[in-house]
Structure 1
Amino acid sequence: MIVDTHLHLINKSALTYPWLTGVPALDRDFLYSTYEAEARRVGIETALHMEVDVDPGEMELETSEVRQLSQKAGSLLKGAIVACRPEEDGFAAYLERQQGDRLVKGFRRVLHVVPDDLSEGSLFRENIKLLGGSRFTFDLCVLPHQIPKAIALADLVPDLQFVLDHCGVPDIRNGAEHPWRDHMREIAKRPNVVAKISGVVAYADESWNVETLRPYVEHTIATLGWDRVVWGSDWPVCTLGANLSTWVATTHALLEHCSPDERTKLLSANARRIWNLA
């Protein structure tokens, strides 16, 4: 069975997503009911919702929407990684409001859509330090050339669990492995970083197959180790390259030579440990 650590839900009648106008293929509703039907067929039994970069004024509304879905009988949703703005003065108060909310498992600020120096600002860094030693994780969504920025944050707060999304977003479409490979080796030296094997099909061209993805997935696992990798669908972003069922099938093909223990760690056990999931 699988724990999906990276599910996006899009409900345009409830929330505003400014970035969707630039991605026509995703500029529509992707609702929980649609995801659940396919997820159950492929063995997903638990999911964490990942924030979808809604309008900043709706960040807490997004969490409320996820909470309503999680409270339905038999819901797969067991937690949420919520949006945040560490570069703003209101972050400390925002963090305080999340402390007692057991649905909230961590935070993310997408960094590849903002200037490279945003994470180097003094306020951003002081606010990230507030997460140190807490139960929360912080997801790092960066492009390969920005991985050193992620490394700097991991070094800044060694007692915070960081999660590198999408294998570090390698440029699979163009077959580019450098500087991504070296940067992955370097960030893997930080014990407070885990990586998500999530949605990499979205970064390949339409002719991709299992072997197209294998070098990127295997390098991520080899550098981080089996105790520091988790699986994510990145649905519906993954649909830019494949539907959910195909991505799950591809994952199983990529894991064909691993042991049952290794498979379990990647697909469920590590996620349950990191986010304290039942």
Structure 2
Amino acid sequence: MPGPGSASTDAGRQIVDAHAHVWRRSRAGLEWLAEVPEVDRDCDLAGLRAAAPGRVDGFVLVQAVNDASESVELLAAAAGAAASGRAQAAAPGSADDRAAVLAVVGWVDLAAEDAAEQLSALAASPGGERLAGIRHLAHIDPDPEWLVRAATAHGLDAVARAGLAFDLVLRPGQLDTAARAADTHEGLLFVLDHLGQPPADAATPSFDVWERGLRELARRPNVVAKVSGIAERGASAAARRRLDRVLEVALDAFGPRRLMVGSDWPLVDLADGYGSWVQSYLTATAGLSADEQHALDRGTALASYGRAG
């Protein structure tokens, strides 16, 4: 397989953004945004669409707070966007040229005894047909082994029974825990966000720890991963080498048909922004075959979140 970055054309590539956020800044749980003024603001669908390059034609919205009420709002936003798009498409001489919200990754309390009922209630809320996955902010949970707790197991089983995916947001030291969870829940598709957060410096022992953990997790066939959350500020040679190295590891570990791309908007603004990230990604993957690019650009995301296309 050609290595990343060995060719130069990106003509015709259309992308499903598998990882984007919208939020109300006033929501409890987002206080940490005060420490990052570049994204310390309300972020809505209009802003997301305005930031996205034209080649992005679909989004997966992902929860940012362990709060089911946020998930209800995300689903309602997705439903509203769909209704607006249908109305525009039905108007004489008009066309809906706005990227669609294809899926939502929400949250319920998977450690609760009524986790299955919570999932059913969320799916029954307006826009619930777009519920495609569940995520818990395990990387900041007080229990670093939340994924393999006995109290969590029945909730993960309920996610599998509902036909949903489970997004993993982890620190590198939790990748081994994720592998254990994937072994225990073989019928559940796990989606690793941000490639497990590789360290910024690829020439350090911590990067080696991340690489070993990622490769071990990738041995589980019920795990796919997102090329997201790894953009850096500045177009330096070092930043390009680091991106190429991270992608090299990810492609070798998972293969392109188990990878998908995401912007992590608006947090991508902490780097050089949405458009710059997409161009860096396109350049880094230009050497892949058309079929491999299609998998990364959209195919894996659509398959993982149960969307046709």
Instruction: Classify the secondary structure of the residue corresponding to 2:117.
Output: helix
Match among 35, 45, 50 for residue 57 of structure 2: 45
- Deviation track 1:127-165 (CA, whole Å, cap 9, x = no partner) reads 111222542100000011110111111111101111001
- Shifted more, 256-265 versus 21-30: the winner is 21-30
Q: Distance in 2 between matches of 1:54 and 1:88?
A: 13
Q: Give the letter for the 2:289 counterpart.
A: S
- Shifted more, 94-103 versus 151-160: the winner is 94-103
Is 2:261 aligned against 1:234? no
- Shifted more, 173-182 versus 189-198: the winner is 173-182
Give the aligned partner of residue 115 of structure 2: 91
Q: Distance in 2 between matches of 1:35 and 1:99?
A: 24
Match among 187, 192, 197 for residue 217 of structure 2: 187
Report how far residue 212 of structure 1 moved.
Answer: 2.2
Q: Give the letter for the 1:94 counterpart.
A: Q
Report how far residue 93 of structure 1 moved.
Answer: 1.5
Q: Give the letter for the 1:33 counterpart.
A: A
Instruction: Classify the secondary structure of the residue corresponding to 1:102.
Output: helix
Q: Distance in 2 between matches of 1:196 and 1:40?
A: 19
Report how far residue 54 of structure 1 moved.
Answer: 5.8
Query: Do 2:68 and 2:106's aligned partners in 1 also have CA atoms closer than 8 Å?
Result: no
Instruction: Classify the secondary structure of the residue corresponding to 1:159.
Output: coil
TM-score, normalisation: structure 1:
0.90
Query: Do 1:18 and 1:55's aligned partners in 2 also have CA atoms closer than 8 Å?
Result: no
Query: Do 1:214 and 1:254's aligned partners in 2 also have CA atoms closer than 8 Å?
Result: yes
Give the aligned partner of residue 134 of structure 2: 107
Give the aligned partner of residue 275 of structure 1: 305
Q: Give the letter for the 1:51 counterpart.
A: Q
Match among 176, 183, 187 for residue 159 of structure 1: 187
Q: Distance in 2 between matches of 1:275 and 1:153?
A: 19
Q: Give the letter for the 1:84 counterpart.
A: V
Query: Do 1:206 and 1:241's aligned partners in 2 also have CA atoms closer than 8 Å?
Result: no
Larger RCO (CA under 8 A, 6+ residues apart): 2
Give the aligned partner of residue 69 of structure 1: 81
Query: Do 1:173 and 1:205's aligned partners in 2 also have CA atoms closer than 8 Å?
Result: no
Give the aligned partner of residue 275 of structure 2: 245
Q: Give the letter for the 1:3 counterpart.
A: V
Q: Distance in 1 between matches of 2:109 and 2:36?
A: 23
TM-score, normalisation: structure 2:
0.82
Give the aligned partner of residue 159 of structure 2: 131
Query: Do 1:87 and 1:127's aligned partners in 2 also have CA atoms closer than 8 Å?
Result: yes
Distance 1:51 1:240, change over 3 A: same
Instruction: Classify the secondary structure of the residue corresponding to 2:295.
Output: helix
Query: Do 1:172 and 1:213's aligned partners in 2 also have CA atoms closer than 8 Å?
Result: no
Report how far residue 219 of structure 1 moved.
Answer: 0.5
Q: Distance in 1 between matches of 2:234 and 2:171?
A: 17
Distance 1:34 1:50, change over 3 A: same
Is 2:103 aligned against 1:79? yes
Give the aligned partner of residue 261 of structure 1: 291
Query: Do 2:19 and 2:264's aligned partners in 1 also have CA atoms closer than 8 Å?
Result: yes
Report how far residue 22 of structure 1 moved.
Answer: 4.1
Aligned pair count reads 275
- Deviation track 1:179-203 (CA, whole Å, cap 9, x = no partner) reads 111111110110000010112015x
Q: Distance in 1 between matches of 2:253 and 2:38?
A: 33
Q: Give the letter for the 1:164 counterpart.
A: L
Report how far residue 251 of structure 1 moved.
Answer: 0.3
Give the aligned partner of residue 240 of structure 2: 210
- Deviation track 1:229-272 (CA, whole Å, cap 9, x = no partner) reads 11111111111112000000000111121111111110012222
Give the aligned partner of residue 33 of structure 1: 46
Give the aligned partner of residue 11 of structure 1: 24
- Shifted more, 219-228 versus 24-33: the winner is 24-33
- Shifted more, 3-12 versus 68-77: the winner is 68-77
Runs (5+) with no aligned partner, structure 2: 1-13, 86-95
Report how far residue 213 of structure 1 moved.
Answer: 1.1
Cα RMSD of the aligned pairs, angstroms, is 2.2
Percent of residue pairs identical = 25
Query: Do 1:134 and 1:160's aligned partners in 2 also have CA atoms closer than 8 Å?
Result: no
Report how far residue 19 of structure 1 moved.
Answer: 3.5
Q: Distance in 1 between matches of 2:131 and 2:225?
A: 19
